[in-house]
Amino acid sequence: MSEPTPPKMPYWHVYTDAEGVSRQELFHLEHFKFEGINPETAPQWNDKMDPAQSVVTFTVLPVGWVGEWHENPRPQWIAILSGRWFVETMDGHRVEMGPGELMMGEDQNTKERDGKKGHLSGTVGDAPCTMIVTGLQVEPTVNRPGRFK
């Protein structure tokens, strides 16, 4: 029997480039290991991030909600649980995401241009968007798109 092929998990990375402009690109988590979470559990695919203090927030964005232009308060993983939302970065790239999709919000240290700083986000459709947001107590990076592999 051959070794199973490790999975890849897509995520959108909203980041700040060297000129202070927010951008977003699709990348994949790729460093999965087939192992138990601890010695007593059956093996599963895990991609462990570096340890960091974090703050978990469950969020419900109401229908019609728009977050206006703003930066993420800290680097944070956002997983969509239900509903849909959009994120538009300063470069004009707009992405809509729905249940099961993942985003890393890391657009700190942007520089205002034409009234835009960070990103614009809001709900899409006629249902609220629910998500789990895991804010990391780490220093944000600049110009490191796709730094999580």
- Report pLDDT for 39: 87
Domain ranges of the chain: 9-136
pLDDT at 4: 82
How would you class 77 by CB atoms within 10 Å of its CB: exposed for 0-12, middle for 13-18, buried for 19 or more?
buried
Residue 25's CB is within 10 A of a number of other CB atoms, namely: 14
Q: How confident is the model at residue 2 (pLDDT cuts 50, 70, 90)?
A: low
User: How large is the average pLDDT for residues 5-29?
Assistant: 97
Render the burial of 93-108: b for 16+ CB within 10 Å, e for the rest.
Answer: eebebeeebebbbbbb
Instruction: Count CA within 13 A, CB hemisphere, residue 118.
Output: 14
* CATH number of the 9-136 domain: 2.60.120.10
- Is the model's pTM score more than 0.85? yes
pLDDT in tens, 91-126: 999 999 999 999 999 999 999 999 999 999 999 999
The pLDDT assigned to 3 comes to 65
